Amino acid sequence: MGQRIARRDLLHGLGAAAAASFLPGRALAEQVLAAEQQGALYYPPALTGLRGNHAGSFDVAHELAREGRTDWGPVLEPDAQAYDLVVVGAGISGLAAAHFYLQQQPGARVLLLDNHDDFGGHAQRNEFTLDGQTILGYAGSQSLSEPSFYPPLVKQFIRDLGIDVDRLGNAYDQQFFLRHGLAPAVHFATEQWGSHGLARQELGPLRYIPMAPGQTPEEAVAALAAAFEVCGFSECGY
């Protein structure tokens, strides 16, 4: 970009809807600033409790959608830095976009905006301390499904991040459910079905019925719905 864009101009230019969707709520921003001013370490991965769309991440969006609010007053941003790229949304896709851009433009200034207090989206980092040992957990993402079929760009991205796919596969307890006799099941309640029952399913995540050759996704979903009707189910989800 040949023209310098200050952060203030950027936020005004995004418009009320876009800015409201991705800027943190006032309560969350004040919480972070208060912690910084007191010299405390505000470190989201170590926070516990329900940490999905936490309080402060949806307040502005709710005001926009439910109350029709479009005016949040003047933008107060002392940061007058100029940025070469602004990425809205700091989940894995937004982080990847910034990563690829910096590969092509080393030294560029990139600003990532997100309505949560941490980056990563579904793949955020969680930390727990047990008996003096740090235990890492994932926020929501779990597996790299069939990485051998990934396109070259994604494979290179994984290598850039230093992810050892073989080690990841070995670290995952593949036989946990089988070893403990666990399996998915469908509960049939007496009120709806006349008797109480629990039907176990042996259909694992890697053994879903594949689409027939030449079948479109829409045709496959229609066929699945028809099969559920034959079995007496009123609705199904995938």
Residue 235 is predicted with a pLDDT of 46
122-172 pLDDT, tens digit per residue, is: 888 888 888 999 988 877 777 777 777 888 988 888 889 888 888 877 777
Banded pLDDT at 7 (limits 50, 70, 90): very low
Which range has highest mean pLDDT (23-32, 57-66, 84-93, 119-128)? 84-93
Residue 84 is predicted with a pLDDT of 94
Residue 77 is predicted with a pLDDT of 64
Number of other CB atoms surrounding residue 12 within 10 Å: 14
In angstroms, the CA 7 to CA 26 distance is: 18
Share of the chain above pLDDT 90, in %: 15
In this predicted structure, the answer to whether residue 23 has a pLDDT above a threshold of 60 is: no
In angstroms, the CA 221 to CA 101 distance is: 37
173-185 pLDDT, tens digit per residue, is: 778 878 888 877 8
188-212 pLDDT, tens digit per residue, is: 888 888 888 888 776 554 445 555 6
CA angle 116, 120, 125 (to 5 degrees): 100
